């Protein structure tokens, strides 16, 4: 399903509503780049195709309570609807990716000054301390 350089963030069996009367069973996988739905072979025999949605193309995500499991609606080039037992977890992951598509948080910022083991402050442009020569 995924490319080798992607990281899987979520995976579970789900139901994908192709249209109002038609649904397909399959495996839903969220990676750091795409949301994939791979249709199980029996449903694929009816001509239902796999779905691949780029995370950056997702413009909205909603969650609704269902009879048994929540329904997640993903808006991209069109509306995609999925029902799965861990729908809340998928919703939370998608909302986080929407807020932060490059997965960079405040903890990823590089400080202006680094602390060297020798006790001096060194600008972040150096790889080695200019006073003691240790690698930063």
Using one digit for the tens of pLDDT, what is the confidence trace for 70-105?
Answer: 999 999 999 999 999 999 999 999 998 887 655 544
Q: Do residues 60 and 77 both lie within one domain? A: yes
Range of the domain at 118: 106-136
Mapped onto helix, strand or coil, the DSSP state of residue 38 is: strand
Mapped onto helix, strand or coil, the DSSP state of residue 42 is: helix
Q: Do residues 84 and 124 both lie within one domain? A: no
How far is residue 72's CA from residue 93's CA, in Å, rounded to a whole number?
A: 12
Q: Do residues 26 and 90 both lie within one domain? A: yes
Residue 82 lies in a domain: yes
Q: Do residues 58 and 72 both lie within one domain? A: yes
Q: Do residues 129 and 74 both lie within one domain? A: no
Q: Do residues 122 and 85 both lie within one domain? A: no
Output the domain CATH number for residue 24. 2.30.29.30
Q: Do residues 111 and 135 both lie within one domain? A: yes
61-72 exposure pattern, b = at least 16 Cβ within 10 A, e = fewer: bebeeeeebbbb
pLDDT at residue 104 in the model? 44
Return the structure tokens found at 108: 């990823």
Can you say whether the dihedral through the CA atoms of 46, 39, 60, 58 is positive or negative? negative
DSSP-based helix, strand, coil % in the chain, nearest 5: 15, 40, 45
Residue 3 lies in a domain: no
Q: How confident is the model over 41-81, as pLDDT tens digits?
A: 998 888 889 999 999 899 999 999 878 899 999 999 999 99
What percent of the chain stands above pLDDT 90?
47
Residue 23 has pLDDT above 80, yes or no: yes
**Is 0.85 topped by the overall pTM?**
no
pLDDT at residue 108 in the model? 43
Average pLDDT along the chain: 84
Q: Do residues 85 and 26 both lie within one domain? A: yes
Residue 58 lies in a domain: yes
């Amino acid at each position: 399903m995924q490319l080798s350089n992607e990281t899987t963030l979520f995976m579970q069996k789900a139901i994908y509503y192709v249209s109002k009367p038609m649904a397909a069973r399959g495996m839903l996988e969220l990676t750091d780049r795409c949301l994939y739905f791979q249709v199980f072979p029996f449903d694929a025999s009816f001509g239902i195709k796999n779905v691949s949605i780029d995370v950056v193309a997702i413009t909205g995500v909603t969650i609704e309570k269902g009879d048994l499991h929540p329904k997640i609606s993903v808006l991209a080039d069109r509306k995609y609807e999925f029902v799965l037992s861990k729908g809340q977890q998928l919703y939370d992951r998608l909302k986080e990716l929407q807020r932060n598509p490059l997965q960079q948080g405040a903890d990823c910022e590089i400080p202006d000054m680094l602390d060297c083991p020798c006790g001096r402050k060194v600008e972040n442009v150096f790889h080695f301390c200019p006073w003691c020569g240790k690698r930063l």
